[in-house]
Amino acid sequence: MPADISLFTLTLLCLAALAAGWIDAVVGGGGLLLLPALLVGLPHTPAAYVLGTNKSTAIVGTTAAAVTYVRKAPLDIRTALRIGLAAVAGSLVGAFFAAGINSAVLRPLIMAVLLAVLAFVLFRPAFGTAPAPSGPVSRQRMLAAVLVAGLGIGFYDGLIGPGTGAFLVVALAAVLHMDLVTSSATAKVVNVCTNVGALTMFAIQGTVLWQLGALLALFNLVGGMVGARMALKRGAGFVRGVLVVVVVALLCKLAYDQWLAA
């Protein structure tokens, strides 16, 4: 635990972890809230430690949400684990390169992808509302899901992180033709795998504040369990609405960091 952190700052970080757990469970993107909160609350802490501590917190809430979905959602656990194994590899590599990343170069690329995601969701109202197909997934679609959602988004999660859950939800719904509740459930399992890979690398590098991460993880856990239950109860329309809000918020945050932040 950082010695100079005040009780007020610690309280705000706990509330941010709670809200981030809820957002992550519904559609992903909780890092949009928690990572900036950690950067503001720990201004003198190296960025690598902030990233590592964020992962140590996020993995708990994401795991709780994944367990809730596995128990109650129509989830193909074999499909999720196949993609998840690729995601572990992708996130390990991404976390390895995280220390040398130039965020000013990557932000415009990420914003372009987010704009495409937002346009795709807004201009296709039926996206993610059809029932999930009952037949087996073709090899071609499974390979595409492994490459895009597993290796590709896994690499991004290890490298930067915020928005990973939202990217996974959209990618799985588009590639495997899942409804948004099923894709959100599958995304949680895959996201647990990306967190495992990234956290393993951060732990090896010694860049995790374990005491702070454990405290924030308790609040993230509660948020994740509540969010998963709400998504299951309210259905695809609710998830779609939260997805749009999270993508817009991500775009605003990235645009601010790129052009307005000093």
CA distance 179 to 75: 11
Which of the pair, 212 or 169, is modelled with greater confidence? 212
Helix extents (H) in 27-46:
31-41
Q: What is the pLDDT of residue 132?
A: 55
How high is the mean pLDDT of the chain?
83
CA 208, 210, 216, 220 torsion-angle sign: positive
Rounded to whole angstroms, the Cα distance separating 22 from 45 reads 26
Give the least confident one: 13-22, 43-52, 147-156, 195-204.
43-52
Contacts with 104 (C-beta within 8 Å, 6 or more apart), sequence order:
258
Which residue shows structure tokens 């990572």? 35
- Report the percentage of the chain scoring pLDDT > 70: 89
Max mean pLDDT range (95-109, 127-141, 166-180): 166-180
For residue 48, count CB atoms less than 10 angstroms from its CB and return exposed for 0-12, middle for 13-18, buried for 19 or more.
middle
Residue 129 pLDDT grade (very low, low, confident, very high; cuts 50, 70, 90): low
- Residue reference for tokens 């941010």: 16
- Residue 194 half-sphere exposure toward CB, CA atoms < 13 A: 37
Amino acid 115: pLDDT: 84
Flag whether pLDDT at 105 surpasses 70. no
Rounded to whole angstroms, the Cα distance separating 49 from 121 reads 35
pTM for this model (two decimals): 0.78
Provide DSSP, 97-145: HGGG--HHHHHHHHHHHHHHHHHHHHS-TTTTTSPPP-SPPPHHHHHHH
CA distance 251 to 29: 11
Q: Is the per-residue pLDDT at 39 higher than 90? A: no
Which range, of 77-81, 101-105, 202-206, averages the lowest pLDDT? Answer: 101-105
What is the mean predicted confidence (pLDDT) over 102-118? Answer: 70
